[in-house]
Amino acid sequence: MPDSNFIDYVKIWCASGHGGAGSMHLYRAKYVPKGGPDGGDGGRGGHIILRANPQFWTLIHLKYRKHIKAEEGGHGEGGLRTGKNGEDIILDVPVGTVAKDAETGEVLFEMMEPGETRILCKGGRGGLGNNNFKTATNQTPRYAQPGEDGQEGWFILELKVLADVGLVGFPNAGKSTLLAAITAAKPKIANYAFTTLEPNLGIVQYYDDQSFVMADIPGIIEGAHEGRGIGIRFLRHIERNSVLLFMVSAEEDDIKVSYETLLNELKEYNPELLDKDRVLAITKCDLIDKDIEKEIEPSLPKGIPHVFISSVSGEGIKDLKDMLWSALHS
Give per-residue pLDDT as tens, 163-201: 888 888 888 787 888 888 887 666 555 544 455 566 777
Contacts of residue 147, defined as CB under 8 A and 6 or more positions apart, other chains included, come to 18, 19, 20, 21, 22, 42, 45, 72, 73, 75, 124, 125, 126, 127
> Does 165-328 carry CATH code 2.60.40.10?
no
* Pick from 328, 217, 208: nearest CA to 262: 217
Q: What would the pLDDT profile of 236-262 be if each residue is shown by its tens digit? A: 778 878 899 998 888 888 888 888 888
- Under the phi-then-psi rule, with left for phi > 0, alpha for psi from -120 to 50, and beta for the rest, what region is 174? left
CATH of domain 1-159: 2.70.210.12
pTM of the model: 0.73
Of the given ranges (93-102, 194-203, 216-225, 301-310), which has the lowest mean pLDDT? 194-203
Q: Determine the residue type at 103.
A: E
Query: In the chain, what are the domain boundaries?
Result: 1-159, 165-328
Which residues on adjacent β-strands are paired with residue 9? 158
Residue 67 has pLDDT above 70, yes or no: yes
- The CA-atom distances, in angstroms, between 77 and each of 63, 82, 124 are 40, 6, 18
* Packed helices 317-328 and 175-182: angle between N→C axes, nearest 10 degrees: 90
Cα-to-chain-centroid distance, residue 231? 19
Please tell me the number of Cα atoms within 13 Å of 270 on its side-chain side: 13
Domains 1-159 and 165-328 share a fold: no
Rounded CA-CA distance 269/75 in Å is: 51
